[in-house]
Structure 1
Amino acid sequence: MPSAINDGVELYFELHGNSESSNGALVFAHGAGGNAASWWQQVPTFSDSYRVVVFDHRGFGRSVCPPEQQNALLFESDLIAILDAAEIDSATIVCQSMGGWTGVRAAVFNPDRVRGVFLANTPGAVQNQVVADNWTQLTERIAEGGGLINRAISEPFAMNHPDRALLYQQIAAFNVGSAPNIRDNEVGVSPQQVLDSKVPFHVLASDLDPLFPPHVLSAVADDIGADRSFVEGAGHSTYFEQPSTFNGILGEFLDTLP
């Protein structure tokens, strides 16, 4: 498999789909409970029509990185290094949870390389008062739920699909020693910075998401001028729990892009 180098770290990525597609490229940026393997329900759907990239963030999966170099400030330059290695001029970034920091920061600091950003169950790096208040409450909610991985999938999904819930945990287990600093203030950006990028955004929220509830993501969408969608019966990982719904909403967003 190909790889890219940034700041001394080798970044694992995969290329799928049609390199000659006129629809352009999609890059899927996973969350803290995932890696490139997380997108197994999206890659087959979109690889017929798009050039698809999945990758492991630094410190996750096969992108081995010591803790002192696991800085989310490097996420967007990691992404640009991957685009360069894949010879992709610009792409739409599909972001799950932590991946939103990658997509938002890439749009703000490299808008010429980003065609659009799809924020799924994440505010990304966007900072406003509602997001700040949510961070204050988040640690307690995670502890009540038994940890980040347990809170990343909804209880109904775990009960009704124990096999897929186990698969989610098994994929997450490949992330050894990952410690992203996405909560650091210096990693965040203002809504105005996002607006100034002129990059189109879409925000997806789910009613059972305990990490970034719909009211939080609605406030983010309002502040950055993004369209939004709402999914019922899904938790924090809509892409994993309801892939058909997720893929359909993503496809509709892609159709709106110039």
Structure 2
Amino acid sequence: MDFTAPPRQRQMLDRPDCRIAYEVSGSGPPIVFAHGLGGCYMSWWQQVAYFAPRHTCVSFSHRGFFPSTAPEGGPDPREYANDLAALVDHLGLGDITLVCQSMGGWTGVEYALMRPGRVRKLVLAATTGSLDPRQMREPERGRLAGWARDAAEARTAMLGRNILPACGPAMAEAQPALHHLYAQMDKLTTGFDKEAVRARMGEMRRRPPADLAAAGCQVLFIAGGRDQVIAPFAAEAMAPEIPGSRVATIPAAGHSAYFEHAATFNALVEAFLAEPA
């Protein structure tokens, strides 16, 4: 059997204060992947391999994340959407589908609002990005404080057992090789304080959910039922305020469903892409 792998190129994009590493694989309608705080452009290996035969898959590392470079003072999430805009223009992608995980949701929400109508479809996985859960509807808003307290305790317990909260106990026990690989990718990024980035993300999280309606795109929230980093019920509370949005939950998944349950995650994204605009 003759097989030809999809074409692939890896390059760097110069920005005024840093360099952005990116990889382009495959051909067809473009999908851009924005990773989370524990990742880099390589995090999407299971998605790129799946979608590249039918799509141009662009995965990139946010400023400061391996092997991109960081400006002095470390990366500022307020620049993420500008970096993405520069990359989209550099590659001449035009309108895109955007798949975002956790921290990448800040990039996705802000980019979609920066360029209304230019995002065909937006996937927000384990994230609400800069949309503020404290402004979501009741009764979910009333559950947030208790969930945050319990989740913080659960994350502390995980770290005491050498389990990454972004993976969770289920992945660590059932798929130790994946947990190990995730930890290796996480350790590739050095040279700045990730907690400072997390704090800057918190400062950006001020938008009411209804703001995203201005982006004019379909939105799929993918929640992990066992997520102890982002409240999984936040998506259900926000979706009714955003026309064209819906929620899919992977009950057995932790914070990183795209990594832990890739086949299920990919199927949800593919079905979403097949829906009429």
Fold shared, TM-score > 0.5 on shorter chain:
yes
Offset of residue 192 of structure 1: 2.6
Which residue matches 1:126? 131
Which residue matches 1:227? 246
Offset of residue 144 of structure 1: 3.7
Paired AA for residue 104 in structure 1: V
Cα 1:247–1:80, aligned 2, differ >3 Å: closer, same or farther? Answer: same
Q: Which of 154, 171, 186 does residue 185 from structure 2 map onto?
A: 171
* 1:93 aligns to 2:90 (yes or no): no
Gaps of 5+ in 2: 1-9
- SS of residue paired to 1:122: coil
Offset of residue 154 of structure 1: 2.2
* 1:40 aligns to 2:45 (yes or no): yes
Write out the 4+ residue segments of structure 1 that deviate beyond 4 Å after TM superposition.
130-136, 138-141
Which residue matches 1:84? 89
Q: Which of 18, 22, 25 does residue 16 from structure 1 map onto?
A: 25
Paired AA for residue 10 in structure 1: R
Cα 1:68–1:106, aligned 2, differ >3 Å: closer, same or farther? Answer: same
After superposition, give the CA deviation of every residue in 1:30-77 in whole Å (9 maximum; x if it has no partner). Answer: 000111111111111100111100000011111110452511111111
Using the TM superposition, name which of 5-14 and 50-59 deviates more: 5-14
Q: What CA distance in whole angstroms lies between the structure 2 residues aligned with 1:70 and 1:149? A: 26
Offset of residue 97 of structure 1: 0.5
Paired AA for residue 142 in structure 1: R
Which residue matches 2:176? 162
Which residue matches 1:68? 73
Identity %: 31
Offset of residue 222 of structure 1: 2.8
Cα 1:187–1:126, aligned 2, differ >3 Å: closer, same or farther? Answer: closer
Gaps of 5+ in 1: none
Offset of residue 140 of structure 1: 5.0
Cα 1:172–1:17, aligned 2, differ >3 Å: closer, same or farther? Answer: same
Q: What CA distance in whole angstroms lies between the structure 1 residues aligned with 2:99 and 2:227? A: 18
Paired AA for residue 168 in structure 1: Y
Paired AA for residue 155 in structure 1: P
Paired AA for residue 18 in structure 2: V
| 1:73–1:187 contact (8 Å) kept in structure 2 | no
Which residue matches 1:242? 261
Which residue matches 2:4? none
Q: Which of 111, 115, 128 does residue 110 from structure 1 map onto?
A: 115
| 2:135–2:209 contact (8 Å) kept in structure 1 | no
**CA RMSD after TM alignment:** 2.2
